[in-house]
Amino acid sequence: GAVVSQHPSRVICKSGTSVKIECRSLDFQATTMFWYRQFPKQSLMLMATSNEGSKATYEQGVEKDKFLINHASLTLSTLTVTSAHPEDSSFYICSARDRWGPLPGELFFGEGSRLTVL
């Protein structure tokens, strides 16, 4: 199946700093990527939908100025957590849809990035 690479897998930062997480589709083009957040023992909550070449669409309750999303190419989307605080500590996972894949609607997920804000 299609491969989605996410980097870094783990990051620890001080409160107030910004952290960038990259999501790449390695062997396919992804016009749409999705960013999720997962707290311990909870399910994945959709944060935003990232469309190549346009502004991201954020879910209700997600601050767009805090979680900056850029989808500049068909294979790369980035999530920047700005002025991170301890409550932003979480597991962030990206996913992408293969626009030419055999199964319409199938999503492929990255390995996730664990953010710890001290």
Partner 1 sequence: KQEVTQIPAALSVPEGENLVLNCSFTDSAIYNLQWFRQDPGKGLTSLLLIQSSQREQTSGRLNASLDKSSGRSTLYIAASQPGDSATYLCAVSSVHEAGTALIFGKGTTLSVSS
List residues near partner 1 by CB under 8 A. Answer: 1, 6, 32, 34, 42-46, 49, 91, 93, 95, 97, 103-112, 114
Closest distance of CB 67 from partner 1, Å: 15
What length does the chain have?
118
Closest distance of CB 16 from partner 1, Å: 26
Which residue's CB is nearer to partner 1, number 12 or number 83? 12
Which residue's CB is nearer to partner 1, number 6 or number 25? 6
Closest distance of CB 97 from partner 1, Å: 7
